[in-house]
A and B are shown apart, each in its own frame.
Chain A
């Protein structure tokens, strides 16, 4: 009996770790995260990210979840719309115009995920103020300077500089934004400005142009802000002449190959044409001559 009990206990522990039985016990509720973005072209969006954990405890993003977006005002929350998360577990809700704010200039957004009917709906809220990130480019004593300025836009339209906001300075590359250095995040001063010296030796395009990207990431008050600017501060890219322009592996074939193919198949098809031409010359006007 003790052996049977221990075996049953061990089996129970074993099966409880498998997904087959874990599902019967119920999955852990997914996590919902809400972030606000204001891009360089002043477009605004709210991004809800739904994630969970798989059987191995690894965090994964969950596609196909319906997320409702609400704007919280003085009265009941106003439903702005609903979106389904994409393959990255994100639902991006764009704002055609600036969302309404209260007297203090605070916009409160809520995202709600119904999820599993057995669990309570998951909500995430965000209270942000409107802000603007500006970039100015200058040159002082052969040093190229990027000056970012963060201002809060009050309900009455005034722009108030914001100190203590971390601004990350990057350069745009093919697959994303590359930090300009290991210490390229600078906090704004009392005047809302953060300055950064553009390092020498950064490669640009063929003209030497680089796209500078300044970002405020995940600020508690202002959300995510981004501003870009193009400057001719990079090292011009020199495209080396291809030493093997015509090879088997290049888009253009070697000349000898084209010549040989053309000669060979040109000859063959010319012969076909000659034969067909000969057939068109068959006529029936001459004296009949049998095989005998």
Chain B
């Protein structure tokens, strides 16, 4: 297998080095310990919630959807990252995507796995989850959501796994002799007996083309259906015709920002500066900027149209958002987490690893809080006025139980990403190599074309 050498270590060495199984450095151990503690505490809080019931949370009669559902929408929104980078950029022949496709797809799978748990956590009685299927009504947006997320998770898992097969064969062949027996078994099993044959490559390419095409509408359907969960109700603030595309735009924008953070993190952790370059940050920064502008447009529409009319219950909700209890959060979201990052990313210096990552982190955090602002204020402004109830019923803020469980889920995502990067190459080695081969051929072709042109010019000059 031909190896590409850049600055000493071959490309395969660079991407296989983290898989050494040495247990990782001090920072890695610190990172994992912290994540395991947070995830473990979240798990304990969830078991406690199962035992004592949803009364241990701050949710109640009016606010029956709180931090859990907001986080569900946010985390599943992040999952759009893989579709964007892997599928959309693949279809548009953006070759620069090659080093970052796997981390983007990985983020998709991890987000869907843990994001899909949030509604089950919100249910309280998790044992009743199967009833959604057994006694399901196909007319319900909740069932559409379950079906779509399951379908998307399966498709994304396939889409993640397919390009991993040749790299699993690489791990099997390169690391087999030095790895622990369980690793050898893992790589041998996951490589599916892969050999570098034309038939295998043809089969793989065919499968990847099929999945590339099919994953895009599935991703759009997932976020559209999540928007429908809200839009198909009659509640003020949710009863909107643009929630479907609004949520898709929001998912793309937060997902793209999450890709930037992920690639910056892996680049730093595994010294991939030669493969994840400033070009990647520049290009992804432009994509995030474009998506931010589209999202801002949907945002303006979402509020401007009902604000023009200020009709009854919508009016009360909008007053609360624009100038009431949620005003501070609302305007910080609009200006601080949408406009400001867009301004930063408009400049070339804003699309660098550090500055771009910070801007994208602000976007991601803003997206999380924005989902909360979509879900909770509407529940506190029902058509029948809230009156004659205890104070806690008419005000909601997540308590320590909800924060612990949600942060536990987020820690779970990061544990999954970290462990994956320690088991499998975080970059698609064969795709990067293929890209380099294509670049080399193009360079050669250009050189040959230039030579021919030069020779033709000399011949023309030499003739009398």
Contacts and interface: CB of A to CB of B under 8 A. Distances in A.
Given A268-B218, A291-B2, A284 B434 contact: no
Interface string B423-459: 0000000000110010000000000000000000000
A249, A269, A276, A284: which has the most chain B beta carbons within 10 Å?
Answer: A284
Contacts of A279: 162, 165, 192, 203, 207
A281 B192 CA distance: 9
Given A268-B214, A289-B197, A275 B162 contact: yes
Given A257-B139, A272-B154, A272-B155, A284 B2 contact: no
Nearest to A292: B2
A284 B172 CA distance: 14
Contacts of A10: none
Nearest to B157: A272
Given A272-B158, A275-B210, A275-B211, A288 B197 contact: yes
Contact of A278 (B138, B193, B206): B206
A271 to B, nearest CB: 6
Interface string B188-202: 000011111111110
A77 B430 CA distance: 96
Given A272-B154, A272-B155, A275-B158, A290 B196 contact: yes
Contacts of A291: 2, 433-434, 437
Contacts of B203: 278-279, 281-282
A257 B195 contact: no
A41 interface: no
Interface string A246-289: 00110101100110010001001101101110111111111111
Nearest to A279: B192
Given A248-B139, A265-B147, A282-B165, A290 B210 contact: no
B389 interface: no
A278 B200 CA distance: 10
Interface string A94-119: 00000000000000000000000000
Contacts of A278: 203, 206-207
B2 A290 contact: yes
Contacts of A261: 138, 147
B214 A289 contact: no
B137 interface: yes
Contacts of B210: 271, 274-275
B300 interface: no
Given A257-B138, A281-B203, A282-B203, 5 more contacts: A258-B138, A261-B138, A275-B158, A288-B195, A291-B437
Nearest 9 interchain pairs by C-beta:
A284-B195, A286-B197, A253-B138, A289-B198, A248-B139, A275-B207, A282-B192, A253-B139, A278-B207
7 contacts: A268-B214, A268-B218, A278-B207, A279-B203, A282-B203, A289-B197, A291-B437
